[in-house]
A and B are shown apart, each in its own frame.
Chain A
Amino acid sequence: MSPASVVISFSGNAALRVASRLADREAGWRLVHHLARFIDAARVPGIDGVVPTYDAALIEIDPVEVSLEQVRDYVAHLIDGLDADRPLTETPRCFDIPVLYDLDGELDLQVVADAQGLSVADVVRLHSESTYVVRCLGAPGGSPMLDGPPFPFPVPRLTSPRPHVPQGMVSVAGRQATITPAPAPGGWPLIGRTPLTVLDLDAEPFVPYEPGDLIRFRPIDADEYESLRGTRMVAR
């Protein structure tokens, strides 16, 4: 791609932000992830790591080992050789996530349905009929960040965030969706929970999925929830 397809800005003296300028958001997403993977595999001295998200990548450096200018020029050179049309993963893995949807009104499913002018059953159907691409890994704890289900409107965030969201919660906000792999505070409306354990701290990497993999949600009942509780999340 032409180096003009990104904007590179310094983000302090130990990081750079590379943001896509491509009109095609899918291509922009692929571009920043291809960049991250290339740099990660190249193990460049002085570059600590890359955090690719939707349309940007944050490159963290040790300013004693390399200069921001050197890394900026290196990135511009790499962008020149990357093909944003190439798929991120040749054969994406697919993860089936059983979900006990919040039909008892314990969480926020009803609130989400009301805001969309939909029934609870419609929200469950829209959420569980889609196939989601893992766009990036985010906070907390390597959450799989997904594009949201095809709801009519963006989902408003909670007016007051929960101080403690347990692991396994399935949530939506704006035009995004995710699963909470680790307990943390959170302002996203919760629509269900999965009995699966997402993270395995004894494995490396400890998150089972990577950007480009696919996720599907499958409604289950309380009995199945209990029988699956604690099962590891693995690809189909």
Chain B
Amino acid sequence: MIAGALAVSEAGFAQVTDLGRRRGPRFGVPVNGALDQRSARIANILVGNAEEAPLLEITALDVEFVPDVDILIAVTGAACHLTVDGVERPSRQPVSVRAGETIALRHVHGGLRAYLAVRGSFDVPLLLGSCAPDSVLGFGARLGNGASIPLRRATVPIVNDHFGAELYRFGVPQLSADRIVDVTDGPDAEDFGETADRLFDEPYLVGPASNHIGLRMTGSLPDRRVQGEVLSRGVPVGAVEVPPGDELLVLHRGRGVTAGYPVLAVVTSTSLDVLAQVRPGERVCFRKTTVAAASARARADRSELDSLRLRVQSAFTALDALSTTTTGRNLQ
């Protein structure tokens, strides 16, 4: 059902995406989706959506949107300056926006990608169950100025009628500013002999050709000691490869599903979110970890999100009851 539309008055570099096309790799297409999965999940949680609901990924540049119905939004990811009709509003909290007001997200800093979720989400086409754009297939696209994104649901403003302030504050941790990337040994680490540990010698400089497919870095490069053609194999997101040339290649969610380079190391699932926020020109340090530690970290992170979802749900449930008795309105 379509309840309204979000008009794009300044598109910047933004697209509608979700947690990715998990069924894609089996058909030879990358998973794609939000590069900072944790921030995308948090944005959706803060507006009461399913975590995999479509939302906006905003990369680096300023954006401006105007909804034609009242909506509830949340902005997460890289720090930025969020205003609604010129009034500064908080990130990492649900924010009510009235029909016709201008949502502006400017000065993305301390990271590269911000996420904007709308309660009820967007009505957009899916391919294999995901709306994530795939530039190779030509599915989905970056937003253009003047575009209009169909909204599934309107949400009446949740504000204190007397003070105009929101009625809640959820403690949401900020992104870490350090650029430490945890990796585990790759299945082909042996191919690099003792040079494999060069990965941990010194920081790597992230190059300008980095994107959602992968980050290209310069620094102390491990040498492949085993020669010969490698059969194309499935490569995981996060694979650290040393292709011919003078750069290290770290694959991200837009990576080609198969490749013929040996996999030296693999970035952990949580550190992929760190890489999503690294800008070209920044330096990153790789740190060796174990599969067990990486998986424990992933579980701890997710249970933090589960507890946030419960807090948001209870707040929305309480507000629902409150607004129905005092004003006759509810969140629906």
Contact = CB atoms under 8 A, between A and B. Distances in A.
A140 B22 contact: no
Interface string A170-202: 000010100000111000000000000001010
B32 to A, nearest CB: 12
Nearest to B302: A64
A104 to B, nearest CB: 28
A108 B139 CA distance: 30
A208 B5 CA distance: 35
A55 B234 CA distance: 10
A40 interface: yes
A53 interface: yes
Contacts of B263: 11
Given A64-B302, A205-B27, A56 B269 contact: no
Q: Chain B contact residues (Cβ within 8 angstroms of A): what range?
A: 35 or more
Q: Chain A contact residues (Cβ within 8 angstroms of B): what range?
A: 35 or more
B27 A182 contact: no
Interface string B262-287: 01001111000000000000000000
A100 interface: no
A206 B127 contact: yes
B235 A12 contact: no
Given A64-B302, A199-B137, A15 B266 contact: yes
Interface of B is mostly: loop
A136 interface: yes
B120 interface: no
Contact of A13 (B27, B138, B235, B291): B291
B235 A58 contact: yes
A13 B27 CA distance: 22
The 6 closest A-B pairs by CB, nearest first: A58-B234, A12-B266, A139-B256, A51-B234, A137-B28, A142-B28
25 contacts: A10-B184, A11-B186, A11-B263, A12-B294, A13-B298, A14-B236, A15-B236, A17-B233, A19-B233, A50-B26, A51-B234, A60-B25, A63-B298, A64-B298, A136-B28, A138-B257, A139-B136, A139-B257, A141-B137, A143-B28, A182-B138, A183-B138, A184-B136, A206-B27, A206-B127
Interface of A: 9-15, 17, 19, 36, 40, 48-58, 60, 63-64, 67-68, 136-143, 145, 154, 174, 176, 182-184, 199, 201, 204-207
